[in-house]
């Protein structure tokens, strides 16, 4: 009798797998899913330790965001060459924020570095693309206009970033942001 019901019990599991493959949704993790920072970039409140650091591997949807980079996005990285990356304020009440990224000074990097980024919604739909830019020694700060990008209040979004140089992949990661 149990054997007849086993296939029926497995159907929801199989169905959810095929749904997630065809309609992927970002998992922002436990808690509030963001790292809180004030407008002057000072930490405040909860921290998401998976944000604003290097990611080891990216799934198919994440790699597709940077398909034009023409390199192995799951290849080896050199995270010691990047000192920081952060977005602030987070969350923002004004719809404006800054995203900053900087190289580690004094490292034998070989640069120059190129940085690009994509801000996506839960379904990996690009809301804002940051075209490739040179990462200078003093770092790069990019003004994010969430209102202009069409972000909805009280919703989480993810900023994926990619740093490359002439030899390939240097650093990749993500950080989650919120507009209040």
The helix/strand/coil state of 99 is strand
Task: Count other C-beta atoms under 10 Å from residue 47's C-beta.
Answer: 15
Distances (CA, A) of 87 to 26, 71, 107, 141, 178: 19, 26, 24, 9, 10
**171 has pLDDT over 70:** yes
pLDDT tens digit string along 75-105?
999 999 999 999 999 999 999 999 999 999 7
pLDDT confidence of residue 22: 65
Distance in angstroms (rounded) separating the CA atoms of residues 1 and 4? 6
| The residue count for the chain | 180
User: What is the per-residue pLDDT across 3-49, written as a single tens digit (0 to 9) for each?
Assistant: 554 444 443 443 333 334 567 899 998 889 999 999 999 999 999 99
């Amino acid at each position: 009798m149990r054997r007849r019901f086993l296939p029926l019990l497995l159907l929801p599991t199989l169905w959810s797998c095929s749904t997630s493959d065809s309609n992927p949704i970002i998992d922002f993790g436990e808690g509030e899913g963001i790292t809180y920072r004030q407008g002057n970039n000072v930490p405040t409140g909860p921290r998401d330790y998976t944000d604003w650091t290097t990611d080891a591997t990216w799934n198919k949807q994440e790699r597709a965001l940077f398909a034009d980079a023409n390199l192995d996005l799951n290849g080896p990285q050199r995270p010691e060459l990047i000192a920081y990356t952060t977005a602030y304020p987070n969350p923002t009440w004004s719809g404006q924020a800054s995203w900053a990224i900087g190289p580690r000074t004094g490292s034998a990097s070989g640069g120059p570095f190129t940085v690009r980024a994509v801000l996506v919604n839960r379904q990996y739909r690009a809301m804002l693309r940051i075209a490739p830019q040179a990462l200078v020694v003093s770092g790069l700060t990019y003004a994010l206009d969430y209102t202009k990008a069409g972000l909805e209040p009280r919703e989480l979004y993810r900023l994926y970033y990619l740093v490359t140089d002439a030899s390939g992949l240097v650093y990749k990661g993500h950080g989650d942001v919120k507009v209040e």
